[in-house]
A = this chain, B = another copy of it.
Amino acid sequence: MKKHILVIPGDGIGPEVTTWGKAVLEKIGHDFGHEFTFDEALMGHAGIEATGNPLPDETLAKAKASDAILFGAIGHIKYDNDPSAKVRPEQGLLKIRKELGLYANLRPIMLFDELLDASSLKPEILKGTDILFFRELTGDVYFGEKKRSEDRNTASDLMIYSRYEVERIAIKAYEAAMVRGKRLCSVDKANVLEASRLWREVVQEIAKNYPEVETEHMFIDNAAMQLVKNPKKFDVVLTANLFGDILTDEASQIAGSMGMLASASIGDGTGFFEPIHGSAHDIAGMDKANPLASILSVALMLEISFGLKDEAKLITSAIDKTLKEGYRTGDIADANTDKAKILGTKAMGQKVLEYLAPPNPPR
C-alpha cells in the first residue's frame, strides 16, 4: 500500500510525541512492505511564529494533498491569558477541521487493564468500560457568528445546527453502534436549547432506520454525572461539538490518563488523527510527555483511513506489552510502579518500537 502522510507537530509537547507516532508508522511501513511517504507542516502557535497565520496556506494545501494527517497538539499559555488576542493558535485547528470537512470526531475510551488503578474511579466502577464517542466537529457555537458590541461590553456566539449536520454524524454513529454493542446514547439539552431540540428530532428520525439499536436521549448535565457514576453503561455516545468537547475530556480522565487516548476526525476527505491531550507547555521539551496517545493515533489512522486492521492491532498489542512489562511515563505511574521503569518520552517510544515485532512470516 502506498500512502502519503502529513505530520503537523503543532505546539508544546506536540513535536515530541508526533516523533514517535511517525517512527511507528515508518517501522510498520518497513515491516509490512507499505510505502509510507511523509511531509511536515506548521500549525497553531508554531504557524503564527513563522508566518503570522495559525493555519498557513501551505499547510492547508499539503493537508488536502495527503492521505492522512498525524497531528500533535495546539495552544499556548500566552494567548490563554490574553482574552483580547485577535490571532490565536486554536483558530488553526478549527479552520482545518472546517476546511477538510472533518465533521465527525471519534474518541474511543479504552482501558488498558494494567492502568485500571491510574484512574481516580474505583476499579470495580471502571472495569469493562468501553465507550466510543462521536462528537460533531464543524458546527455548534464553535462556528456560529461571534459578536462583540462596539463598547465591548456585550459578547455573543451563535449556537447553531442544521438538519444535514446532525444527520450525517448520526448515521456514522448508528453504523458504529451496529458493529459494537448496539446501544447509542445521544446527549443534548433539549429541555432548554432549540438547537438541541432539532438535534433530538433528527436523531429520533435516524433511529428509525436502526431498530436493532437501543437509543437513549440524555441531558448533558445528567450525562456528565452518569459518566462518573457508571461509565460501563455507555456504548456509543453521540453529541454536539461543545458538549462533546466537555464529555470526552471528562471521560478521558475516567480512563486514567489523557496521555493514553487518541482521536480520529473524519468526514468526506482526508482523515485527521491526534491525541486527546493538549499542548502541555509546562512539560514541553522536557522529555516527560507520554507518546502513547500519538502512537495510538497512528493505530486509528491505519485502521480507519487505510483499512489496515492487523497493523493497527499490532500497535495496541505492543503498547499492551510495554505496560504489562511495567513501563510507565510519569503521568500513568503510581505508587506501585517500579521507579526504574518510569521512562521519558524517548525511552517509552523506543520500548514500543522494540515490542512492535514484525509479522511472522514476514510479508
Contacts and interface: CB of A to CB of B under 8 A. Distances in A.
A contact patch SS: helix
B160 A154 contact: yes
A39 interface: no
Given A154-B161, A230-B120, A90 B197 contact: no
Interface stretch (A19-27, A185-193, A344-352): A185-193
Q: Point out which of A121, A157, A225, A245 has the most chain B C-beta atoms below 10 A from its C-beta.
A: A157
> Which of A147, A195, A226, A230 has its CB near the most chain B CB atoms (within 10 A)?
A195
A120 B228 contact: yes
Interface residues of A, number: 70
Copies in the complex: 2
Interface stretch (A77-85, A172-180, A266-274): A77-85
A247 interface: yes
Given A122-B121, A228-B120, A246-B220, A158 B158 contact: yes
A238 interface: no
A83 B159 contact: no
Interface string A235-264: 000000011011111101110001000000
Counting from the closest, the 6 A-B pairs by CB-CB distance are A155-B198, A156-B160, A83-B197, A221-B249, A224-B250, A146-B194
